Amino acid sequence: MKLLHTADWHIGRTLNGYSLLDEQKYAFKQILQIAKDEKVDGIVIAGDIYDRAVPSPEAVTALNEMFKEINLENHFPIYAISGNHDSATRLNYGREWMQNTSFYLNTLLKEAFTPIETDDAQIFMLPFFDPLDARVYYQERVSDKESIKKLTSIGDAMNLVVSDMVKKFKTDKKHILITHFAVSAKKDEDIELTSETTSQVGGLATLTTDNFKDFDYVMMGHIHTRFASPSDTVRYSGSPVKFNVKEARMKNQGKGVDIVTIDNDGINREFKPLTPQTDLIVLEETWETLCDEEFYKKQPTHDAWFAITVKDFDRSQYTRVNTRAELEKRYGTVIELNYENLANTSEQNIQTTDITQISPEETVSKFFQTITNKPLSSRQKKLVDSVFNEVERENK
């Protein structure tokens, strides 16, 4: 059995106001061609299919066309789950009749306990959930109600969920899990979150590989780089497109998909790279260097997007210069422009921050510190987290 593992499509995403839909369509065409070339037995999409709970009409139309090409025109089975960005309820629409064409889509916790059976494996599909989802699910199914009320951490909830999955294991098959969380290699070890979420809402950063030790292989979504994979058997495919400057800064970490082969010899993985239609280039140089023809002629000007930081820049020397216009003459599209070490100001860094690229919790924290010149207290952070947890549940 051969599966293509991808995740975090975030269809409908924008970058500083620029739509990434054409980039996502370009990446999709490559993913589909890889699936054809490799003759895979199915395509796994491990969550965050859409970028937001209520996607735009353009995003819905684009994704529908992608699914149509994969499943109806090319007859590839789809194994997909919802992530923390998706609306579980909205995405679940039509799930029953889609299975008639081998389109398997799980968005609710209760759906995760029935595996997809193949000749070689049992595929369990566990969508993103939080401890409250687990308490609601188990409250109706166990006699010990008090123990369920104590189910407050995602780690404890996950252990209970996995233990119930293990009860369904068949000993003559491999056991594959598709899910969407941040997972570290061992307890109490943090991993760098290069996804859009850098907070710990819903326990996103508290799971470890120990939670999944019963599975032969785990196909993960949520972290946007495959290099965050915590073990050889718990793997992130990464996103197919660069979504922010932080990802663009990560050199030699190109986007792609994994081809996972399951046979009698075990489970093997092969990375297949994707080529961006419009690359995102990060430049951090002085104004003089950026305007030097010898320098900018070496860049993919007018063919890529640029995120530029002007270093050691004295604004007082260029009061009549439209710096963005001057840079766009030379480079083309500048999607982000920052300045460092501006003269005649007490601030060491003034940046045009795109709040769509940081979590809501971090936005509140930055605003609070800007206004009060003090960081949020522990109690205040817990309050902010609880508010956004509630908002996220209401949007599902």
Give CA–CA dist 237/33, Å, rounded: 17
- Coil, strand or helix: which one is 9? coil
Which two structure tokens, joined as six digits, stand for 391?
């908002």
Quote the pLDDT of residue 83: 93
22 pLDDT higher than 90: yes
Q: Cα separation of 378 and 234, whole Å?
A: 32
Mean pLDDT score of the chain: 86
Same domain as 136, residue 62: yes
Give the confidence band of 323 by pLDDT, cuts at 50, 70, 90: very high
Identify whether residues 344 and 365 lie together within a single domain: no
Which of 250, 273, 296 is the last residue before a domain boundary? 273
Pairing between strand 256-263 and 266-273? antiparallel
CATH number where 252 lies = 3.60.21.10
Predicted pLDDT at 280: 93
Pair 338, 205 in one domain: no
8-17, 71-80, 132-141, 194-203: least confidently modelled range: 194-203
Characterize the bridge pairing of strands 183-184 and 207-208: parallel
Same domain, 187 and 301: no
Do 218 and 232 have their domain in common? Answer: yes
Looking at residue 383, what is its pLDDT? Answer: 84
Which residue matches tokens 């029953």?
96
Q: Which domain holds residue 167?
A: 2-273
365 and 350 fall within a common domain: no
> What is the model's pTM?
0.81
Predicted pLDDT at 348: 44
pLDDT tens for residues 109-144? 999 999 999 988 999 999 999 999 999 999 888 777
How far is residue 288's CA from residue 334's CA, in Å, rounded to a whole number? 17
**pLDDT grade, residue 90 (50/70/90)?**
confident
Same domain, 197 and 74: yes
Residue ranges with strand state E in the chain: 2-6, 14-15, 18-19, 42-46, 78-81, 103-106, 116-117, 121-125, 174-180, 183-184, 207-208, 217-221, 234-236, 256-263, 266-273, 280-286, 305-311, 334-340, 349-350
Are residues 161 and 286 located together in one domain of the fold?
A: no
Distance CA(365)–CA(374), nearest Å, equals 9
Q: Looking at the structure, tell me whether residues 316 and 174 fall in a common domain.
A: no
Q: Which of 99, 94, 78 is nearest to 32 (CA)?
A: 78
**Distance separating alpha carbons of residues 380 and 273, to the nearest angstrom:** 43
pLDDT digits (tens, 9 = 90+) for 157-196: 999 999 999 999 999 999 999 999 999 886 544 444 444 4
In the predicted model, is pLDDT for residue 84 greater than 50?
Answer: yes
C-beta of residue 137 within 8 angstroms of C-beta of residue 189: no
**Number of domains into which the chain is organized:** 3
List the alpha helices (DSSP H) in 243-337.
Answer: 245-248, 287-290, 293-296, 323-331
Judge if 198 and 220 occupy the same domain: yes
What average pLDDT score do residues 60-73 get?
Answer: 95
Same domain, 363 and 351: no
166 and 296 housed in the same domain? no
Least confident of 49-58, 60-69, 165-174, 314-323: 314-323
Among 249, 273, 297, which residue terminates a domain?
A: 273
Look at residues 238, 273, 308 and tell me which one is the last residue of a structural domain.
Answer: 273
Please, which residues bridge with residue 104 across strands? 79
Under 8 Å between Cβ of 142 and 214: no
